[in-house]
C-alpha cells in the first residue's frame, strides 16, 4: 500500500512538472511569435511620426507601421525630462522620456541583434524637440541617455549604430557641435547649410512647408521648384530634408516625395504606411 501511495505521488508530481514545462514552452513560442512579427516589419525610409507621443501607443504604433523616425517634445521639470507638447499638468512617470522611448528602444535592439529593424543598415531617428531652455535641457538629456549609450550613435557616426538622437526646438547648437564624441546631434535649419557642419552632427534639415518659397534664397520660385532646389542643397551635404506644416494627405505626400523630400511629417501612421507600401508594391 505505501508503494501505491508513493507511485501516485510520483505521478502527480510528474504531471505537475510536465504542465509547468508546457506553460514555459507556450510562453516561449508566444514570445518567439511576437519577435518574428517585429523582425518581419519592413522599414519605411520616408516615414516620420510627427508628435509620436500623441498616438495610442507611443513608439510602438510607429514601429509596427515601419516608421524610421519619431518625434518627441520634452520639458525639463525638476531635473527630469517629460514628454508632452505643452507643460504637463501632472508629473506622471509614464511621461518620462526614458520610459516612453529610451528603454523601449533598448528592449527592441536587444531582441534584434543591436538594431531597431534587423534588415536596416541606417540608424533609427529619434528627434527630441526641446520645449524648455536649451542648455539645461541638453545637460539633463546627456545624463538621461548615459545608461543607453550602447545603442546610440555618436555625433560623429552615421552608421554602425542603432539609434540617432537629434535635437530640435530650442537647440543647443554650440554645445552639440563642441562635443563631436557625444551622443547627440542637431536638427538643421536652412541657414545652417554651407557652414561645414557634417551630416553626422546634423542628419536632418527641417523647414516650414509654408515658408519655403518665401525665403530669400528661393523667392520668386514656385513651391515645387523651391522645395526641389532646397532638397538639392540639403542632399549635397549628405543630409535628409524634412518639411513640417504641410497638409497631411496622400496627394501632398506624393508631391513631397516627387520633389525630393526625405522624411514625410505625418500624424496618420496607418494611412501613410498603406500609402507607402502600395508604392513599394507598384515598384516591385
- What's this model's pTM, rounded to 2 decimal places? 0.84
Let me know whether 121 and 258 are in one domain.
Answer: yes
61 with 117, same domain? yes
pLDDT in tens, the chain (284 residues): 555 555 556 566 655 555 555 545 444 444 444 444 455 789 999 999 999 999 999 999 999 999 999 999 999 999 999 999 999 988 999 999 999 999 999 999 999 999 999 988 899 999 999 999 999 999 999 999 999 999 999 999 999 999 999 999 999 999 999 998 999 999 999 999 999 999 999 999 999 999 987 776 787 889 999 999 999 999 999 999 999 999 999 999 999 999 999 999 999 999 999 999 986 556 55
Let me know whether 130 and 36 are in one domain. Answer: no
pLDDT for res 52 = 97
Say if residue 109 is in the same domain as residue 245. Answer: yes
In this predicted structure, what is the pLDDT of residue 13? 61
Q: Are residues 27 and 157 in the same domain?
A: no
Q: Distance between CA 129 and CA 84 in Å, rounded?
A: 10
Question: Residue 178 carries which DSSP code?
Answer: T
Same domain membership, residue 144 and residue 219: yes
Statement to judge: residues 63 and 155 lie in one domain: yes
Kindly state whether residues 224 and 134 are assigned to the same domain. Answer: yes
Q: Residue 218's pLDDT is what?
A: 80
**Domain total of the chain:** 2
Q: The domain containing residue 100 runs over which residues? A: 41-283
Residues 157 and 265 in one domain: yes
User: Residue 70 belongs to a domain with what CATH number?
Assistant: 3.20.20.190
Do 124 and 262 fall into the same domain?
yes
* Cell 508513493 belongs to residue: 6
Pairing state between β 67-77 and 124-130: parallel
Distance (Å, whole) CA 132 – CA 96: 15
Using alpha carbons, select from 226, 275, 228, 223 the residue that is nearest to residue 251.
275
In this prediction, residue 7 carries a pLDDT of 53
Predicted local distance difference test score (pLDDT) of residue 184: 98
Whether residues 159 and 243 fall in one domain:
yes
Q: Are residues 147 and 15 in the same domain?
A: no
**Helix H or strand E segment including 48:** strand 44-49
- Name residue, grid cell 538639392: 232
CA distance 10 to 123: 55
CA distances (Å), 92 to each of 29, 45, 78, 82, 84, in order?
Answer: 34, 33, 12, 8, 11
Amino acid at each position: 500500500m505505501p508503494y501505491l501511495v508513493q507511485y501516485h505521488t510520483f505521478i502527480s508530481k510528474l504531471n505537475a512538472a510536465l504542465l509547468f514545462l508546457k506553460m514555459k514552452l507556450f510562453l516561449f513560442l508566444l514570445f518567439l511569435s511576437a519577435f518574428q512579427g517585429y523582425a518581419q516589419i519592413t522599414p519605411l525610409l520616408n516615414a516620420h511620426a510627427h508628435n509620436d507621443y500623441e498616438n495610442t501607443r507611443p513608439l510602438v504604433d510607429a514601429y509596427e507601421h515601419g516608421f524610421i523616425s519619431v518625434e518627441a517634445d520634452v520639458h525639463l521639470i525638476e531635473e527630469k525630462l517629460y514628454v508632452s507638447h505643452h507643460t504637463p499638468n501632472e508629473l506622471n512617470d509614464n511621461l518620462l522620456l526614458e520610459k516612453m522611448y529610451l528603454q523601449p528602444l533598448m528592449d527592441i535592439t536587444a531582441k534584434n541583434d543591436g538594431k531597431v529593424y534587423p534588415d536596416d543598415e541606417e540608424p533609427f531617428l529619434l528627434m527630441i524637440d526641446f520645449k524648455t531652455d536649451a542648455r539645461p535641457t541638453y545637460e539633463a538629456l546627456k545624463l538621461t541617455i548615459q545608461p543607453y549609450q550602447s545603442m546610440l550613435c555618436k555625433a560623429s557616426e552615421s552608421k554602425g549604430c542603432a539609434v540617432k538622437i537629434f535635437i530640435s526646438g530650442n537647440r543647443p547648437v554650440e554645445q552639440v557641435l563642441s562635443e563631436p564624441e557625444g551622443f547627440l546631434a542637431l536638427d538643421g535649419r536652412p541657414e545652417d547649410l554651407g557652414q561645414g557642419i557634417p551630416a553626422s552632427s546634423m542628419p536632418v534639415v527641417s523647414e516650414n512647408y509654408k515658408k519655403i518659397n518665401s525665403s530669400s534664397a528661393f523667392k520668386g520660385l514656385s513651391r515645387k521648384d523651391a522645395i526641389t532646389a532646397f532638397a538639392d542643397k540639403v542632399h549635397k551635404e549628405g543630409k535628409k530634408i524634412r518639411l513640417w506644416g504641410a497638409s497631411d494627405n496622400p496627394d501632398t505626400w506624393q508631391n513631397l516625395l516627387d520633389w525630393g523630400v526625405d522624411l514625410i511629417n505625418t500624424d496618420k501612421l496607418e494611412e501613410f504606411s498603406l500609402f507607402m507600401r502600395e508604392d513599394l508594391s507598384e515598384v516591385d
